[in-house]
Each structure stands twice: as C-alpha cells, then as structure tokens.
Amino acid sequence: MIKNPHYNVVPGDAASHPYLDFTGVDVRVPMFVYLSREKRPGHDHNKKAGAMNAMVRASAILSNGPFMLNFDCDHYIYNCMAIREAMCYMLDRGGDRICYIQFPQRFEGIDPSDRYANHNTVFFDGNMRALDGLQGPMYVGTGCLFRRYAVYGFNPPRTNEYRGIYGQVKVPIDPHGHHHPGPEELRPLPEHPDHEAPQRFGKSKIVHRDHRRGQNGRPPGALLMPRPPLDAATVAESVAVISCWYEDGTEWGLRVGWIYGSVTEDVVTGYSMHNRGWRSVCCITRRDAFRGTAPINLTDRLHQVLRWATGSVEIFFSKNNAFLASRRLKFLQRLSYLNVGIYSFTSLFLIMYCLLPALSLFSGQFIVATLDPTFLCHLLLITITLMLLCLLEVKWSGIGLEEWWRNEQFWVIGGTSAHLAAVLQGLLKVIAYTVHVGVSRTVYAEIPQYSKLLGGGFFSFWVLAHYYPFAKGLMGRRGRTPTLVYVWAGLISITVSLLWITISPPDDRIAQGGIDM
C-alpha cells in the first residue's frame, strides 16, 4: 500500500530524472492498494463478481470515491482524458440518473483481416450506440465507470421522470415548482437511516455510513482538504470487509454490488441497475479509452464465445429473464435484454439452415417443392430489404463493409458451434433439475415406488460407469471439454439422424398407429 499523497501540488525539477525534465510537473503518485481477498474451502468466492464486491467494500473504507473504474487485467488505459469525459456525463444536468458509462473495447495484436471478428465493431459501434437512445447500453465487464451510489443498490433520483411504454416521454416540470411524487417516493422511510444497513451491507458501519438516501460518496471539496494517514483501525476494518464470511446474511451479490449466479455477471449486474430505473451511456472517444488483447486462435476465440453464450442461456432460465423485469425496464430496453437471453437458441435453426443445402444435394430434392414466380418475387423482396437495412446500419454507425462481413462470417461459425454447445449445456441442466424433481416426487409420493427408483438409478449408474473412461478423455487435460467435441458430436448426431430418415423412412403403418400382430 502506497501512502496517501500530499494534498498540495509537489512540482518536480530537472534533476529528478536523468532523461526527462519534470520541471513544473506534478509528480505526486496516487494512493495504490493491492487487494487480495480471503478464500477458504467451503466458502464460494464467486469468481470475478466476488472480487469486485470485495473491492467495493475495501475502497469505501480507504477512499470512498463517488466513481469507480473497472477494466480487465489484459486492458490498459490508452487515453488518460477518457475518465474526465465519462465524469462529465455524470456531472451534467440530469446526469445523477446515470449509473455507469460504458466504453467500447478496442484490441491490439489482431491480424489485419480480423478473420475471427475480434474487433466486434458491429456490437460496440452499432448495437451499443443504438441502445443509447433507450435506457442505455449493457455492461460488458470492462472499460466502465460506475457511480458508487448505483452499485450499492439504491434507486435513482426522480424515478418517474420518464414515462410511457418506451420510456422516452419526459414528465413536464411544473412552472409553479410543485413536485408530484411517484409511488416509490411515497414509500415511507425507515425510522433510522441505518435501520436496514446490517442486513443489506453487513456489519461494517463505515461501508454504508456515507451512502444514506440523498448522499453520494464524499462531500464536495473533500479532495482538496488535508487527510490524515490511514491508521491501524482503518486498515483492520478494510481487511475485515474482504473476509470470506462477511457477505453471509447480507444482500451482497443479490441486490448490492455485482450480482452472483451467472458466468456473465456483467450483463446481470447492468440488468439489475436498468431494472431499478437507472440509465447508462455509451462513450466513444476520438482516441481509444482503453486497449487490450484478444484471442489469437480459433480455439481461444470459440471458448470465449462459449462462455458468453453459456451465460446468456443461464440468464434465460433464471429470475433475471427480461420477461420478469419490473415496469421501470422500458419496452425496447426489455427487448434488448430478451435478445441477450435467446440469441444462443438461434443456433438450432442456423444448424438446419446450414445442413439443408447439403441434404438437398444428397437426396436430389430442393428445399422448396416448386420455384414459382411468386415465391421468387417474395424471396427477392425480402433479400433486398435485409441488404438495405444492413447498409443503413453500417452507414449510420461508420462500420466498414469488411468488418460487417467478418461479423456475419463468425456469427455463422459461433452459431453452429459454441452457441449450440451452450444451448445443450443449458438444456442438460434443465433435464438434471427435472430428474431431481422426478426423484423427489417418487420418494415423497403417497405410495413411494422405491423398486422402480432403485432399478432405474442402478442401471443408469451401471451404464455411466462403463462410459467413465470415455467421458474422462473428453474432459481434456485441465478438466474442460474442448469446444470441438461439442461441435462434432452435434453435427454427427444430426447428420446421421437425417440420413437415416432419408435412406430408411419409417413405415406408413407405424406412423399411422402401429402394426397388427
């Protein structure tokens, strides 16, 4: 831990460095704290989300700054003025309703053709900017400036300022200065501001003492005031809040801080803020704010896409599904979050779309029965309309045609491999849950049928025991199943099934109800 810098400017001189002249330059170094949270067996540390929540609590004690910057370890600051630009959004008129400022991800070390679509400009420069017209872009896990007050789970001020199904109708200001409170503002406050604090934030009073309703971090001018050095009690308090037991019985990870329960905790965390009525902003600076590294081979890239797709499937089957959102999540913003949860399921249709041409060549039959002029006119009209829409989006967002084409190519690659694997994993989890429910019903039925339960369980275990070496080999060296295994398993299964039905179709008598014996 580097000690607190002096509050007065410390200018350098020409002799302070052998090669650089620091004359008239402020040479103070900000306080830097290395944080390593406690981990113990039996306590789930919740990966990145748990680390971020530990950082939030420790920084509340050490600095309690109103804004927090988050970016991954493989990213670095490329534009030192980007943080000031983001704070301008926060401090602007109406900016107190903004929960975070999301910067686009920019990468280095990518081949000129970008064959794996690592730049992903269609998403960052197209989709994210388009969401600026709604409640704002989603949180993507890095390159984001947060408002601490919003991270603490509080509702935004003037919750009912924007109304309507699309959230674009601003309530007019009464010229006489009369304020008409909404339902959230009419809710009675607790008798004491800290009445619910221990159950929500934990036992540390320092973590939540400056975040009562109506306050937002340190008071104005606190940075210009002299601050005493950190004493032993403050350091001990910061160590206590990053202990593995601190979150027990609190709302950390549920409503406060980064949300737990998904491998894509970033999307869920941003969703929880938008669901409370907060807004976000996409900030694209002239000079890139941050830069980082991207996967350089197909295996790493597909593994990254698989993790994102797995998180989207988890969101779809969880309480964070946008179907279950509150009324503060407006209609179009709700559609954007619905797309996050269901885009992986398009792989089921995409795989059929990719297999149909080869199947038509194999069977000698075309996809459609007849190619009449009406069908061709409709197909041509739909194709031209889609192309014009794509050109309009590309022209508006400033994306090159080559970048758009790379994005389309990798969408097909990821859709027929990683997305399909994520859907299968999600369905397997649902099936496992169904099996658990079936076993529970059998055990707790009025007349339990233990014989069927034991018999089915024994033979299932017997089959799985024989497949154990095969399953162990599929898991790879580090216990992770290669994406290629899912790809080929799905493709081979679907292809063999279609070929079997084509070569040996089922008997008509069987299809109609059975064969007389």
160 and 82 fall within a common domain: yes
Q: How far apart are CA 179 and CA 164, in angstroms?
A: 19
381 and 508 fall within a common domain: yes
The answer to whether position 13 is within a domain reads: no
What one-character-per-residue DSSP string does 257-296 give?
SSPPSSS-HHHHHHHHHHHTT-EEEE---SS-SEEEE---
List the one residue out of 89, 501, 97 whose CA is nearest residue 279.
97
pLDDT at 425: 77
Among 290, 324, 351, which residue terminates a domain?
290
The list of the chain residues with pLDDT below 70 reads 1-2, 159-198, 205-228, 360-371, 429-517
List the one residue out of 27, 36, 32 whose CA is nearest residue 3.
32
Contact predicate 187/107, CB 8 Å = no
Task: Give residue 163's Cα distance to chain centre.
Answer: 26
Among 263, 290, 317, which residue terminates a domain?
290
Tell me if residue 144 falls in helix, strand or coil.
strand
List the one residue out of 479, 470, 136 whose CA is nearest residue 333.
136
How many Cα atoms occupy the beta-carbon half-sphere of 330 within 13 Å? 21
Q: How far apart are CA 282 and CA 101, in angstroms?
A: 6
**For the chain, give me the number of helices (H) and strands (E)?**
20, 9
* Overall domain count for the chain: 2
Does the model's pTM come out above 0.85? no
The answer to whether position 306 is within a domain reads: no
The 3-state DSSP composition of the chain as helix, strand, coil percent (nearest 5) reads 50, 5, 45
Q: How far apart are CA 387 and CA 393, in angstroms?
A: 10
Output Rg (C-alpha) for the chain, integer angstroms.
Answer: 28
Tell me if residue 384 falls in helix, strand or coil.
helix
Q: What is the pLDDT of residues 146-202, one digit of tens each?
A: 998 899 888 888 766 666 555 556 666 555 545 444 444 434 334 344 445 667 788
Among 290, 313, 333, which residue terminates a domain?
290
The answer to whether position 309 is within a domain reads: no
200 and 273 fall within a common domain: yes
The answer to whether position 148 is within a domain reads: yes
The answer to whether position 319 is within a domain reads: no
85 and 211 fall within a common domain: yes
286 and 348 fall within a common domain: no
278 and 151 fall within a common domain: yes
**How does the average pLDDT of the chain come out, rounded?**
76
H or E element that contains 68 = strand 67-70
pLDDT at 391: 83
171: domain CATH number?
3.90.550
273 and 352 fall within a common domain: no
pLDDT at 511: 44
60 and 197 fall within a common domain: yes
Q: Please report, in range form, the residues annotated as the binding site for UDP-alpha-D-glucose.
A: 47
126 and 268 fall within a common domain: yes
284 and 382 fall within a common domain: no
The answer to whether position 40 is within a domain reads: no
10 Å CB burial of residue 259 (0-12, 13-18, 19+) is buried
Tell me if residue 11 falls in helix, strand or coil.
strand
Beta bridge partners of 242: none
265 and 348 fall within a common domain: no
59 and 200 fall within a common domain: yes
Q: Please report, in range form, the residues annotated as the binding site for Mn(2+).
A: 48, 72
The answer to whether position 325 is within a domain reads: no
Structure tokens that stand for 178 in this block: 């009369």
pLDDT at 435: 57
Domain containing 402 equals: 343-512
Contact predicate 340/312, CB 8 Å = yes
Q: Please report, in range form, the residues annotated as the binding site.
A: 47-48, 72
The answer to whether position 324 is within a domain reads: no
Q: What is the pLDDT of residues 407-416, one digit of tens each?
A: 887 888 888 8
Q: Return the biggest CA–CA distance within the chain.
A: 104
Q: How far apart are CA 194 and CA 205, in angstroms?
A: 9
